[in-house]
Amino acid sequence: MQAPTDTKPRWERRKDARPQELLEAALELFVERGFAATRLEDVARRAGVSKGTLYLYFENKEELFKAVVRATIGQAIGQAELDLAASDAPSAALLKEMLMRWWAQIGATKLAGITKLMMTESGNFPELVRFYEDEVIARGNALLVRVLERGLARGEFRPHDPQVMMPVLSAPVLMLMMWNNAFLPCGGGSAIDPDQYMAAFLDLALRGLAPDAEAGPLKK
């Protein structure tokens, strides 16, 4: 039996795929070159279309960048928000899953380059900073705070201020992202094993958050 074929004309299939191809090309170039040095004509060329075709989908470079963030990091955060609302797992397990997912889906991928880009170029693009703050940083921080508040309400975490604890938990992951994407590619610093780093960080953090009777001594 002959396998079924897609009867849609090739040019229509290609047209349907163009927005995603443009986003993928833009992500690669933003990570490689930064925001300021990325040109729309280079994005179009890498995606295999004309610059005019790119303008059919995205008004300017700022809107293209926003679309990249929404289609990648934004979607990951949105799924995490849904999963948190639906989960009945212990808060320690949920916190570990959230932090590991952050590393696996963003920190260990080319998306970490977007975080680096925002840190290094934010002073020149205040509108993008406000956008990134609203759609990435604020939402990601709120996720961590909700998990911490959940653990407090259930008696699964020792008393603490979630607003203070949130940056304490996010900073080590950001440090690992920057180390792998800023220092090592330039030949600076020594290699860090991400799996060992995350395991040690989570062991320390979860023991520190556990109720006093459950914390116990740290493993040697």
Residue 3: pLDDT over 50: no
Note the pLDDT tens digit of each residue in 67-86: 999 999 999 999 999 999 99
Q: Residue 98 has which token pair? A: 């959230």
Residue 170 has pLDDT above 80, yes or no: yes
Residue tagged 């080590």 (tokens)? 172
Please report, to the nearest 10 degrees, the dihedral formed by the alpha carbons of residues 66, 71, 73, 77 taken in order.
120
Tens digits of residue pLDDT in 45-74: 999 999 999 999 999 999 999 999 999 999
Task: Summarize pLDDT for 8-27 with one digit per residue, the tens.
Answer: 443 444 555 589 999 999 99
pLDDT at 14: 55
pTM above 0.75, yes or no: yes
Any idea what DSSP says for residue 209? H
Q: Please state at what angle helix 10-33 crosses helix 112-121, rounded to 10 degrees.
A: 50
